[in-house]
Amino acid sequence: MSQTTTDSAPRRRRHSYSLRFRVAAAAALGATIIVAVLSWVTVTAIERNNLSQADQQLALTSRIVLIEPQLAVTVLDVLGPTNQLALTVHNADGSMTSTSVQLPALSVGNHTVTVDGNTYRVLTTTENQPTGRVVSLGIPTTETEHATAEQRRFVFFAALAAVAASAGLGWLFGGRAVRPIVRLTQEVDQRGPTGGPGAPLPVDGSGVKEADKLAEAVNTMLERLDRAQAEIAAALETARDFAAVSAHELRTPLTAMRTDLEVLRTLDLSEDQRREILGDLQRGQNRVETTLAALERLAAGDLTNERDHVVTDVAELCDAAAHDAMRHFPQLQVRIDTDAELVTRGLPTGLRLAVDNALTNSARHGGATEALVSAHRAQDGRIVISVDDNGRGLPDTERGAVFERFFRGSQAAKGGSGLGLALVAQQAQLHGGRAYFDDGMLGGVRLVLEIPDREARPAGAPSGRPM
């Protein structure tokens, strides 16, 4: 059985170079390529030029030598060491006449040969000669080759100087070119280690298009980071407040329950007293349980995001909430008045929770015996859900405060958690709308939940459905 192993060793970090160094290196590389090509072209041209000059000299000399090459050989021998020409005549009968430097048999044309360690440029021709005679005339090119080598060395050193100059100029001007990037980096660093919001980076002062685009991108990123940081800070602050208030609200019933338990354990009570204390314990336990359940629903709402919104039938939701409310509160009669089809994108569980809490608030704290649940699409596209009741109502001074967490109205019954209407306000906010109280049509108050319609209006005309 084979086993595959994975190399978990960390990859080595590549060495990084400054942008200025990269600009200088790019300039040097570009100069190297250009100088190499130009040097090759120059050296080739020099060599061809030297050969061309030698060939021209041979052509001029051959006009005299070819008149009588045999005589020319004799004359050249007489000149002796001062002679710089080599002449060899190959006759048709195989005989040969040559100066002290004998040139090898070559084909007609110009050639470069080496004789006794010396290089010669040779012109071989049969022009104006008897049949079978071949004349080879050569001139030494050793000095020319030395001159060519010197020229090559000059071109090579000039190329090295050009590459070095290009690298130096690339370093010099590269520093000026990348200065806006360096300044941008410094300005980002100067925003401080806390990462707090600061002034935006300048976009139009560098004159470098890439630096301006980078500044715009960095500004956008920093704005997003600032917003995210602000949201996180607000969420943490809300969580701290939420935890502190929750602990305070839970401490009161828990303290009362502990006191009752101590009384039960330490005092000799009558049966009626024990029954009364056990009732207090039961009420305290119910209050804690109700508060914890409401806190759980609030926390779940805080964790909701846009992906949780689905297609929701508001009319069907209100109908189900009305039936459940009458089952839990037999004294309450609920009628509904909704559009025939009222579909939008939302949180069905959250909207149902809001309607349930509104009806529970009417029955438990308002003492209502009759309620009307309405849901219609307004002319401006909003969806308006309202709950009217004939209960005790709510003072005008408390209509805004009751949506705060753990706030209990002056007309509220004992034992509530103070979170029911806070849940309604939370769901309104999660749907991008609002919740508020208004004067009711049944003698009590009307709780209104307005949310934007996130769906195209479906077919069907609005109609009332009394229950």
Domains, the chain, ranges and CATH?
Answer: 19-172 (no CATH), 195-303 (1.10.287), 306-452 (3.30.565.10)
CA 77 to chain centre: 87
The pLDDT of residue 372 is 92
Query: What are 264-285's pLDDT values in tens digits?
Result: 888 888 888 888 888 878 877 7
Query: What are 369-397's pLDDT values in tens digits?
Result: 899 999 998 888 788 999 999 888 777 77
Query: Can you point out the beta strands (E) in 190-340?
Result: 310-313, 333-338
CB distance 155 to 39 below 8 Å? yes
The pLDDT of residue 459 is 42
Angle between helices 271-302 and 209-266 (to 10 degrees): 170
Query: What are 333-344's pLDDT values in tens digits?
Result: 999 888 888 888
CB distance 176 to 169 below 8 Å? no
Cα separation, 443 vs 118, whole angstroms: 129
Cα separation, 95 vs 327, whole angstroms: 139
**Phi, psi dihedral angles at 17 (to 5 degrees):** -125, 155
**Phi, psi dihedral angles at 198 (to 5 degrees):** -140, -175
- Spell out the long-range contacts of 26-30 with Cβ–Cβ below 8 A and sequence spacing 24 or more: 26/170, 27/166, 27/167, 27/169, 27/170, 27/174, 28/163, 28/164, 28/166, 28/167, 28/170, 30/166
- Residue among 440, 435, 438 nearest 420 (CA): 435
- Residue among 144, 139, 148, 141 nearest 46 (CA): 148
Does pLDDT of 9 surpass 60? no
Instruction: Provide the mean pLDDT of the chain.
Output: 76
- Taking residues 338-352, report their average pLDDT: 83
Cα separation, 291 vs 366, whole angstroms: 19
Cα separation, 159 vs 175, whole angstroms: 24
**What proportion of the chain, given as a percentage, has pLDDT over 70?**
74
Rg (CA), the chain: 52
